[in-house]
Amino acid sequence: MPQQTSPPARVATRDPLAWAVALVALGAFAGCIALWRTGGGTIDVSWARELDLRLHFSFDGIGALYGLLATGIGAAVFAYATAYVPLHLDHQARPARDRWRFWPWMALFMLSMVGLATAQDLILLFVLFDVTAVCSYFLIAFDRQERASRLAALMALLVTGGGAVAMLIGAVILYADHGTFSIPELASLLRTQDEAGGIATGTTVAIGLIAAAALIKSAQVPLHFWLPRAMAAPTPVSAYLHSAAMVAAGVLVIGRVFQLVEVAPVVQDGMLAIGLLSIAVGGALSLTRDGFKQVLAYSTISQYGYVVMLYGIGGRDGATAAAFYVVAHAIAKSALFLTAGTVTMAAGCRRLSTVGGLARELPVLAVASALAAATLSALPLTIGFFKDELFFRAAAEHSTLLGVVSVLAAGLTFAYTWRFWGGIFLGERRVGGAADDAAAAAKPLAPVPALLTAPIAVLAVLAVLGGIVVGPFAELASDAAGATLGHDVQLQLAYHLDARETWMAALAWLLGGLLLATPKAWGPAARALSRAGERFGPSHVYELSLSAVNRWSDRLHDVEVRDLRSRVAAVLLPGGILVALGFAATPTAGVFQIGSIDGTDLLVVALLALVAIAAGVVAFTHQHIAIVLALAVVGLGLATVYALLGAPDVALVAMLVETVVTLVFLAIVAYAPRGERPSRRELAGVASEPQRRHTHSRRWRDPLIGVVAGAAAFLVIWGALSRPTPAERVVDELVRLTPAAHGRDVVTVILADFRGLDTMVEVTVIGVAVFGVIALLRRGRTW
């Protein structure tokens, strides 16, 4: 969004679609509260019995916690977006209809997040996990005219999509070893195996893959770099997806499969290490960033590092602290993201270095965002105070060293949170310039619609209410922790001035204040870390890898589109290699039978030899008539083979097809323009150097591809023909089931019933192709 130089034009916010989505979110929030208070519910329906796939949803504690976050924070963000999106489109001179590319994806994301929170099946978890990735792709790329938005969306899709693939692989491994995708059943089986002597290495690997997918989704180090890039999205997207929804989906998955993680100590220890590393890296980089949303993005990496660390600690303390932390963080961070968007709209600035002293002109926003900052930095009388109390307790109970580290981490949180708020609202008044810039000091703010402030105020009030009346939030966290651990958990929270955790919190505030007051002491080291990460970090590796893949893709594209033979080669060579590898890896001892050649077999062999000779003529001759006649020999020879092998109907069809094709080819040759074709030597004389090199490369490339593809075809045919006929054939079962499908013709029943979905897809493809041809013809384009 370009910076404003004047107040924006008045833009109508009476968008029925936007308000409909916001009201749906509010209604869903009320429904989630009602379900939670009445004990929830379960849906369990089989949708692919042969694969043991079920639509199994359960609105338990985890479903309630993340469902309430997805719908409650969603309702606030959606209300904010009703005012933000029209202004955003107006600033970019885009049509109002572009909102149709925003609201449906936001609504689908909310629904998929609720489904993900309640899913009890690994495949269902994977599908919904992937749906959130697809939705986030389109939302991050909402400003598709900007290259940064497109690249950020692609990065988020590739990185989190790769994590989803890891989750699927882990789920398949668990199914292969234990025969179920059901998370509760797997938890019970693995617990029993662990008590009996430990789980297998393959199971540990599978659990590690699922945990890795969750950590990638939560933007944990080292695959955290996609989240700061995703800040190219509009502010409502960042506030929703990257504080309470998409990034939360990662720790949601950890909470859902935590009973699996508990039986794999190496995975749990890895989560503890990654969480600590993410806290440090995200916090340090947040202190070096100047952009509003960049500061918040790196702080999100750090904050979810807290949650991952708590799951790494495990047990009752870790699970309850993790659940409570997610709630407090979502409320505070979404309010701060929305604050960044409102300030950008009002001041036309996106960086801390270009604004300051806005508290007097935006008092309501300043107070509301201050309460959100107080929540994130765990000050008393906010819900955030209790999140750090639980964090300190879990860390100190685990070890003294971890307790010290937790205080340092909380001090880091205090520093980057108040650096963000103070940089915007405190200091000398300036908009769009340095502190000594007179024009910046006098530049007026644009009018701020009430809906760009009211949702932030509502979230701030909720944060304060949580700090005063903490009971409902503690109950919600208890229910979520109970679903995570598989047994009931009770959480009691209250203020205790003499408690160990209170003194740890006071020490963290003091440390955070020192960090704020001494930026010259730690600034060079933090900036050096940032530069090292940009030069050698995972983001750089990602860019190098993507560039390498693009180069290889371009080379393959150049080879593939050069001519028909290159395109055929691009299919035949990999196909032949894959067939050979599959054949080599398949046990074949005693599987195939090789008989003797006698009787009519000799005639079949002779005909096949004739077909092979004719095929060679087709490949090497340059005379049109010879090619047509050789093709006819190939077709008619194979038709004779079909007849000798007892398939006269196939032979008859082949004879008719070959006769018609031969006649058509002869007609084409007869009516083709006459003239002498240049010889190879003449063509070589006028060819360019790249063309000559390409022709030379074919001398060895084409025979090699022919040998590989021919060998693969031979292996396939030989394997099919030499395998003994099974006692039970599929065709017998199809014939038997034909009357049950109310049909008399088995072929018709196969196409319409047994392969009905396949046929529907084929018909759909043909229909799409027809519409494409019609569209091209209407435009006068026939190529």
- Each residue's pLDDT tens digit, 79-102: 999 999 999 998 888 998 888 999
Distance of CA 673 to the CA centre of its chain: 55
Q: What is the 3-state secondary structure (H, E, C) of 280-346?
A: HHHHHHHCCCCEHHHHHHHHHHHHHHHHHHHHHHCHHHHHHHHHHHHHHHHHHHHHHHHHHHHHHHH
CB burial string 267-282: b at 16+ within 10 A, e below:
bbebbbebbbbbbbbb
The enclosing H or E element of 162 equals helix 147-178
The enclosing H or E element of 598 equals none
Contact 182, 56 (CB under 8 A): yes
Which parts of the chain sit beneath pLDDT 50?
1-12, 781-783
Backbone angles phi, psi at 599, to 5 degrees: 65, -130
Measured at the alpha carbon of residue 710, what is the angle toward residues 708 and 715, in degrees to the nearest 5?
Answer: 95
What does the alpha-carbon distance between residue 260 and residue 144 come to, in Å, rounded to a whole number?
A: 40
CA nearest to 187, candidates 210, 165, 164: 210
What does the alpha-carbon distance between residue 228 and residue 141 come to, in Å, rounded to a whole number?
A: 14
**In sequence order, what DSSP letters do the residues of 739-768 get, joined into one string?**
GGGT-S-HHHHIIIIITHHHHHHHHHHHHH
Express the helix, strand and coil content of the chain in percent, nearest 5 each: 75, 5, 20
Written as one letter, the residue type at 368 is A
Neighbouring residues of 310: CB distance < 8 A, sequence distance ≥ 6: 275, 318, 319, 321, 322, 325, 391, 394
Q: What residues pair up with 121 in beta bridges, in sequence order?
A: 182
pLDDT at res. 466? 95
What's the pTM value of the predicted model, to 2 decimals?
0.80
Neighbouring residues of 97: CB distance < 8 A, sequence distance ≥ 6: none
Q: What residues pair up with 45 in beta bridges, in sequence order?
A: 55
pLDDT at res. 8? 44
Structure tokens at 667: 């007609």
DSSP state of 493: -
What does the alpha-carbon distance between residue 311 and residue 271 come to, in Å, rounded to a whole number?
A: 7
Measured at the alpha carbon of residue 261, what is the angle toward residues 59 and 163, in degrees to the nearest 5?
Answer: 80
Q: What residues pair up with 48 in beta bridges, in sequence order?
A: 53
pLDDT at res. 334? 96
What does the alpha-carbon distance between residue 756 and residue 754 come to, in Å, rounded to a whole number?
A: 6
Residue carrying structure tokens 């990602």: 542
- Each residue's pLDDT tens digit, 261-301: 999 999 999 999 999 999 999 999 999 999 999 999 999 99
pLDDT at res. 4? 43
Dihedral angle, C-alpha 81, 82, 87, 93, nearest 10 °: 100
